[in-house]
Amino acid sequence: MAKRTSKLELDAIIKGKIPKRYPLGDGLYFTIKKSGAMSFGVRYQINGEPDYKGLGAYDKVNNNLGIARAKCEAYRVQIKQGINPKIEEQKEADLKRSAKALADQLKDSTFAKYAYKHIKNLEPSWTNIKTAAQWQSSLEQYAFPVIGDTPVSDVSRTQVLAILQPIWFEKTETADRVRRRIAAILDAAISDDLRTERNPAIWRGSLHGKLPSVESVKNAKAPPEERAHPSLQYSDLPLFMDALSEQDGAGARARARARARSYCLSILIGPKSGEDLVFFKVARVPRETFKQLLIRLKIFLLSSSARYRSNSVLHSASDCSKRCTRVLSSAESRS
């Protein structure tokens, strides 16, 4: 092994400008080419195979003898561990290139560009030819001014809220459609590995609690006669059905059928605790009145089935009556 070359000796080599590869000791070499270019390098062996790794061009300040020796020592540590520094450096360079390419792709994949691409991909699956134009128009009007130039990887919940809040109460249906379309586009971006964060436009887990539900907004805006009404108490059921029986038309018959079937399906057999029985999922009926209530309900349903001529209502009332009979038998066996 060649002895370590001092700085003064290297200066003399540089002044001589003789094209040659000079050993500087500990595997470090200094090369002067015919063109006059000067550089450092390290020669080593991995698994008995000789190799050479360049350490950069010579520079009095940024890559002098001291810096080159430090690089050489670092490589020698890797070599002792069986790591080829040339291959390792190539892997690092490949990773950097891949990371840069991905960053460029993410930067280029703005929400607007990706949205147009997603709409084009979905267009063959839509039966209505207007759907694509509706998607594009709503996004261009409401979403693109806020997130159109934002990479899909960077779209945040704050931005989504900035899109929805101004129109959530005045244009509730439109706002909800825009939200769903943004969510679909960001879901597709996640599938394409263009986004790692969760979707900020989904309702549950993101916007729930930040905005009132669409149903509550619609109900608040609806006229009083169209708003959702409180549930009917079981004690008011006979009066309701009597009033309904006096009305004509398919609507009244359909409502009678739905009411009979809903009460039929809502009966829960047996006590929830030692004190009460659960009835109609919401009303609590004391044990001592449970049997009387079932008897009244059975009589009412039988009379309702006779009052209506619709086969569907007759079927619903008859089926419910049979269920009441089973519940009544069960209640009698417990008493």
- Asked whether residue 19 carries a pLDDT value surpassing 70, the answer given is yes
Helix (H/G/I), strand (E/B), else coil: 245:
helix
Q: Which span out of 43-57, 116-130, 259-273 was modeled with the highest average pLDDT?
A: 116-130
**How confident is the model over 206-239, as pLDDT tens digits?**
998 899 999 888 888 777 666 666 666 656 766 7
- Asked whether residue 163 carries a pLDDT value surpassing 90, the answer given is yes
- Helices (H) and strands (E) counted in the chain, each on its own, are 13, 6
Q: Is the pTM of this model over 0.75?
A: no
Kindly report the three-state secondary structure assignment for every residue of 56-78.
Answer: EECECCCECHHHHHHHHHHHHHH
DSSP assignment letter at 125 = G
Higher-confidence residue of 99 and 169: namely 169
How much is the pLDDT for 79? 86
Alpha-carbon distance 197 to 151, whole Å? 12
Alpha-carbon distance 194 to 189, whole Å? 5
User: What is the mean predicted confidence (pLDDT) over 149-170?
Assistant: 94
How much is the pLDDT for 321? 60
- Asked whether residue 267 carries a pLDDT value surpassing 60, the answer given is no
How much is the pLDDT for 274? 35
H or E stretch covering 93: helix 85-108
Burial class (CB in 10 A: 0-12, 13-18, 19+), 153: buried
H or E stretch covering 130: none
How much is the pLDDT for 283? 42
How much is the pLDDT for 322? 66
Q: Domains in the chain and their CATH numbers? A: 7-101 (3.30.160.390), 111-221 (1.10.150.130), 234-334 (no CATH)
